[in-house]
Amino acid sequence: MTSPRSRNFLDRLHSEILVADGAMGTSLYARGVSYRSCFEELNESQPEVIESLHREYIAAGARILTTNTFGANTFRLSEHGFEKRVREINRAGAQIARRASGDSIYVGGSVGPLNRMLEPIGKLSLDDARQAFREQIIGLVEGGVDLFIVETMSNLAEMREAIAAIRDVTAELPIIATMTFTEEGKTLVGDKPFEVRRSLREFGADVVGANCSVGPQPMLDVIERMVGEDLPVAAQPNAGFPKLVGSRYIYLASPQYFAEYAVRFVQTGVNLVGGCCGTTAEHIRAIAEAVRNLKPVRRSFLVIQDVDDDHQTVAAPRSPSAGTFGADLGKRFLVSVEIDPPRGINPEPLVRHARTLQQHGVDLINVADSPLARSRLSALAMAHLIRREAGIEVLLHMSCRDRNALALQSELLGAHALGVLNILAVTGDPPAVGDYPFAKAVFELDSIGLTQMIARMNRGKDLTGRTMEEPTRFVLGVGVNPTATDLDLEYDRFRRKIDACAQFALTQTLFDATTLERFLNDTASFRRIPVLLGILPLRSSKHAEFIHHEIPDMMVPEVVRRAMQNAGTEGARVGVELARAFLLETYSLVQGVYLMPPFNKFDMAVEVIDVLPAERDLH
């Protein structure tokens, strides 16, 4: 039977801003519950813990509670041996939220993805997917939910089956349908926000929106492409990207930062605002306070078209240049620019950019290995193509995230055979921060172990200690972060990388000379290798705030953020000027620069290095 709350929910969304709760998993994790545990089973074994978390969110100002049933489907519960208790666990989850909420708060039944790939690519049929959702939904209805929140979906086909399963069980309860988007503003398969909005409406969703995956700033860009007069819109971002500290994930976006973006969401046309991964009762309290006196803003739907990269044909291949990077280390001030492989299969525009960068004095192209755990074209393939087609040396980032020791050695041998001899050993970002959070991380080695492996291969020994046919000739680099939260740990790891025979280091992005000088002084007793300084020219005040608040281990000083704020529409120009001044100020302190141009704006990198002298020999 439909409750009065269900009947008036949509009416209220059109007349007031409703605040939803934040993360359940983050709060449980903070209480010592392992991520390896089955959070949903706690509905039966520790209901008092779940109810207390619900009450915290209510006290903070949430008017919509999300049941602790995100992964309570047969497939995800089977990973913990609870697949036969789907209905009971969902019923218990709804009943706990119902007890906590009383009659004044809406209870939304959380339905998350099945963690299985659907046909035609995967083996799970659409019928079986719908049946799995239906079993979960029956339990939620029995527990007394007022509405459904189908969340964190990355595949429209899976979303369609979830909504259809809800309508198989009940035709009356409202449905909030939120998809997850990448930092590029598209779903994992490339659906654009306005396309998602249209599809969700056709599927029968009553409220559409986005949740999870990204922080407030990139989600606002997505929401701007979803608002319209015909459907209310929901926004529930993460608290930025998580950082792994010890064995715990820490999210960086503060409650105040979240509150500022809550107001922006509402001004854009959002009717429902809350939080996802990393958000706590403090975030929700800040949101509730910020939007307390705001009313929904009616916005006509405006499609903002995305501009894709051009696809011009690469000119005829040139012979690769001789490998001089290793020989020049410590003798010349070297310039490197990062190019991330494309999300698709066309590398040609990036190869063309690499050729242009070489013509402007760049010595080396960095090729990242699926940074932030976002799936991209193979880094090795991209590095090989740039080296072969653009005739410039490359530095291949090699991550431990996706490969065990055997696969890492095989990849290294393949790189060597292709002439890709400059390697940056990195641990890699965990899949939890990326676009395939259900992917299984490997991390059999970390960057120190990988450094040791490569150095061993350079001495002619393979993984097992057997003598190789001939030793490798890798030039081995490592990363170091002068702004790490735990500098003692960071310096200890840096020392161990150097002891493992690292030949050069790249710093995390820095924005002020004081931090660099402190790092150089702190490591002077053991730092025996050249250092290339990481510099990122900022594009705008928005860009600066995003990096400072939402990217782990990156800090933009207040004076820089204020300068970018004062720049207004001249943000890119001021960002370049700041980067140029920083480079000139630190030129005599380091042995090179590692530029990370934002959003593939490689012309910004060219403008920055234009201040360097024509002759860059070190004395």
Q: Which amino acid is at 590?
A: V
Token pair recorded at residue 423:
């390697």
In a domain, 571, yes or no: no
> Quick one: 396 and 475 in the same domain?
yes
| pTM, rounded to two decimals | 0.75
pLDDT of residue 436: 64
Please give the Cα distance from 278 to 295 (Å, whole number). Answer: 27
Residue 329 and residue 406 in one domain = yes
Same domain as 337, residue 221? no
Domain assignment of residue 575, yes or no: no
Residue 241 has pLDDT above 90, yes or no: no
What is residue 163's predicted lDDT score, i.e. its pLDDT? 98
Rounded to an integer, what is the distance from CA 350 to the centroid of its chain?
Answer: 22
Question: In whole numbers, what is the pLDDT of the chain averaged over residues?
Answer: 90
What's the structural domain count of the chain? 2
> Is 562 inside a domain boundary?
no
Q: Please tell me the distance from the alpha carbon of residue 336 to that of residue 365, in angstroms, as a whole number.
A: 6
Q: Are residues 400 and 423 in contact, defined by beta-carbon separation less than 8 angstroms?
A: no
Residue 240 CA: distances (Å) to CA of 32, 132, 163, 381: 22, 31, 28, 30
Q: Is residue 315 part of a domain?
A: no
Tell me the Cα Rg of the chain: 26
Band of the pLDDT at 314, cuts 50, 70, 90? very low
Q: Which 3 state secondary structure label does DSSP give 617?
A: strand
> Is pLDDT above 90 for 184?
no
Whether residue 508 sits in one domain with residue 401: yes
The CATH number assigned to the domain holding 603 equals 3.20.20.220
Whether 199 and 245 map to the same domain: the answer is: yes
The secondary structure element, H or E, covering residue 507 is strand 504-509
* Shared domain check, 330 and 279: no
| Within-domain flag for 617 | no
Per-residue pLDDT reduced to its tens digit, 133-180: 999 999 999 999 999 999 999 989 999 999 999 999 999 999 999 999
Task: Based on the fold, state whether residues 186 and 278 are members of the same structural domain.
Answer: yes
Do 11 and 76 have their domain in common? yes
Helices (H), 21-104: 25-30, 42-45, 47-60, 74-78, 86-101
Tens-place pLDDT, residues 249-303: 678 889 999 999 999 999 999 999 999 999 999 999 999 999 999 999 976 655 4
Kind and range of the H or E run holding 493: helix 487-499
CA distance 493 to 480: 9
Full domain range(s) for residue 366: 325-536+590-609
- What pLDDT is recorded for position 306? 46
SS3 373: helix
Q: How many residues can be counted in the chain?
A: 619
Instruction: Tell me which of 274, 291, 308 is where a domain ends.
Output: 291
How far is the C-alpha of 17 from the C-alpha of 290, rounded, in Å? 11
Region 223-236: mean pLDDT is 92
Tokens of 290: 């910020």
135 found inside a domain: yes
Is 139 in contact with 90 (CB distance < 8 Å)? yes
| Rounded Cα gap, residues 403 and 601, in angstroms | 31
Statement: residue 308 has pLDDT above 60: no
**337, 285: one domain:** no
CATH of the domain at 113: 3.20.20.330
The CA distance from 58 to 554, in Å, is 33
Say whether both 355 and 416 belong to one domain: yes
